[in-house]
């Protein structure tokens, strides 16, 4: 049986990285087989824009009512978090 690990890309991912929102379907949600698979995807993405900052994975809070297991956010190299508009 294939595991399902659902992540959502937050607004900050599209504002300060080369990733384009139009390239993603399903409301910015991506399905992976495991947390390790998403970590590998994040590492690959970070290689292409490491001078800008980095993407990181944050496990959804236990009280989170969404279906996602985790969120991908972007932290710029200058060290300041970019707030998400929908948070």
pLDDT value at 53 more than 90: no
Whether 81 is in a domain gets the answer: no
Considering the domain boundaries, does residue 22 fall inside one?
yes
The pLDDT value recorded for residue 32 is 95
| Residue 86: per-residue pLDDT | 56
Residue 59 has a pLDDT of: 92
**Residues in the chain, total:** 87
Give the number of domains in the chain: 1
Looking at the domain assignment, is residue 86 inside a domain? no
In a domain, 82, yes or no: no
**Cα distance between residue 82 and residue 64, in whole Å:** 20
Residue with the bigger pLDDT between 1 and 57: it is 57
Domain, as residue range, for 12: 5-76
- Is position 84 within any domain? no
Please state the pTM of the whole predicted model: 0.78
| Residue 16 belongs to some domain of the structure | yes
Is 83 a domain residue? Answer: no
pLDDT at 15 over 60: yes
C-alpha separations of 19 from 6, 9, 23, 28, 58 in Å: 18, 10, 8, 11, 18
User: Which pLDDT score, from 0 to 100, does residue 87 have?
Assistant: 47
């Amino acid at each position: 049986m294939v595991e399902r690990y659902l992540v959502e890309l937050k607004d900050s991912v599209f504002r300060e990285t080369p990733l384009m929102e139009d390239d993603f379907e399903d409301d910015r949600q991506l399905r992976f087989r495991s947390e390790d698979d998403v970590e590998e995807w994040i590492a690959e993405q970070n290689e292409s824009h490491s001078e800008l900052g980095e993407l990181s994975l944050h496990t959804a809070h236990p009280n989170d009512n969404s279906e996602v297991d985790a969120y991908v956010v972007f932290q710029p190299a200058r060290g300041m978090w970019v707030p998400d508009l929908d948070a």
